[in-house]
């Protein structure tokens, strides 16, 4: 599981975030500290990602990481599908940002991500042409 540092209960309440993607049998926990447990991986040298029940138990017991985000849901791609979507610019990528991940409300992340890249999402078009 992700390692933890003790913080006040007020600070823990302030940094708790979760995202639900409907009915789910999978969960992933992103946390702000280095990984220490089995099946937990370090992401970009900045945070850790775990899908184990141990991290959820630690969070429930108040022994989890200082900052964490639980994402529920499942996404799957066929062979080569994600690569194709990336090549067709179906995804917008920005540099990893701990503040965007842990401090920005889930409903605001999409807009905030575009704004940090200097893009006004209101100007995006849902259709393209061939002119």
pLDDT in tens, 87-128: 888 888 888 788 888 899 989 998 999 999 999 988 888 777
Contact call for residues 39 and 52 (beta carbons, < 8 A): yes
- 39 vs 19: which has the higher pLDDT: 39
Separation between Cα atoms, residue 91 and residue 80, nearest integer Å: 14
Highest mean pLDDT among 17-21, 26-30, 81-85, 127-131: 81-85
Ordered structural domains, the chain, with CATH: 9-117 (3.40.1740.10)
Q: Alpha-carbon distance 101 to 105, whole Å? A: 9
Percent of the chain with pLDDT over 90: 12
């Amino acid at each position: 599981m992700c390692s933890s540092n003790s913080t006040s209960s007020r600070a823990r309440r302030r940094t708790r975030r979760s995202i639900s993607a409907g009915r789910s049998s999978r969960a992933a926990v992103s946390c702000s500290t280095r990984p220490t447990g089995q099946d937990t991986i370090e992401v970009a040298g900045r945070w850790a990602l775990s899908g184990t029940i141990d991290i959820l138990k630690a969070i429930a017991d108040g022994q989890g990481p200082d900052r964490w985000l639980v994402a529920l849901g499942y996404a799957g791609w066929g062979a080569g599908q994600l690569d194709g979507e990336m090549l067709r610019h179906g995804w917008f990528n920005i540099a990893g940002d701990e503040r965007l991940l842990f401090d920005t409300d889930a409903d605001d992340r999409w807009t905030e991500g575009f704004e940090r890249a200097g893009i006004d999402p209101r100007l995006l078009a849902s259709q393209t042409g061939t002119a």
